Structure 1
Amino acid sequence: MPSKRYKAAWARIGNSSGFRVENGFFKDNPQFAGARGEVQVINSDTLLVRLQPIELEQEKDELLLSLFLDFLMDNALRNPDELEVYTEAMAAEDDELIAGVVIDS
């Protein structure tokens, strides 16, 4: 199958410069949305771009965490009287509960 080409254009992005790639690239390759990578200059008119796609499971976890945090924020804004100050006593109790717990990486 022949490789598909996408248009790119130089753009100012915040305080940096970058290249914008047409949206069709991300529609055809959703695994690269939000990816990080590097650019290598091959010669005066050729670049090699390597992107590390975001793992689908990582993306799913990030989405769930984001939705949970949105829920918490919405609940806090709707019910400010239910908020409780996290005290040093609470922190000490939490530290006692997790003392000696080892997490496998």
Structure 2
Amino acid sequence: MARKTYKASWAKIGNSSGYRLSGSFFKENPQFAEVGGTVQVIDADTLLIRRATQPQQEQDEDELMLSLFLDFLMRQSLANPSEIEVYTEAMAAEDDELIAGVELDAR
């Protein structure tokens, strides 16, 4: 990858401060557009900027969907307590057998 440099200028953004980059930066590096991240100070003259591995909007949507699903389960459980089944050690052992050897893709 070619190491191209881009001009960054300090800017007041709402109640915050930030660095403004030219549109060409985002045109040539679309993976950084509309994505949050972190900034690490390397030394007095150097910053390291890392983009978030998952766009914040996508992460927020995932968290919202999980929250809605858990709320649904809770409402169902409270409305139908006779259908709640105790999770036993035998069930846990059966689940362990089902997922034995399965490798998860760590993001």
Question: TM (normalized to structure 1)?
Answer: 0.51
What is the one-letter code of the residue matched to 1:84?
A: E
Give the number of aligned pairs: 67
How many percent identity over aligned positions?
58
Q: Note the aligned Cα RMSD (angstroms).
A: 3.0
Distance in 2, Cα, partners of 1:91 & 1:63: 28
Aligned equivalent of 2:15: 6
Distance in 2 separating the partners of 1:59 and 1:71: 18
Letter in 2 for 1:99: A
Counterpart CA distance in 2 for 1:89 and 1:82 is: 19
Amino acid at match of 1:85: V
Q: Which amino acid aligns with 1:58?
A: Q
Residue 104 of structure 1 deviates from its aligned partner by 1.8
Q: Give the equivalent residue in structure 2 for 1:15.
A: none
- Cα pair distance change 1:100/1:4, threshold 3 Å: closer
Q: 2:14 & 2:93 partners in 1: Cα distance?
A: 57
* Structure 2 counterparts to residues 18-97 of structure 1, below 5 A: 55-97=56-98
What stretches of structure 2 of length at least 5 have no aligned partner? Answer: 1-10, 17-33, 40-50
* Aligned twin of 2:102: 101
Could you tell me which runs of 5 or more consecutive residues in structure 1 were left unpaired when the two chains were aligned: 8-30, 39-51
DSSP 3-state at the match of 1:3: strand
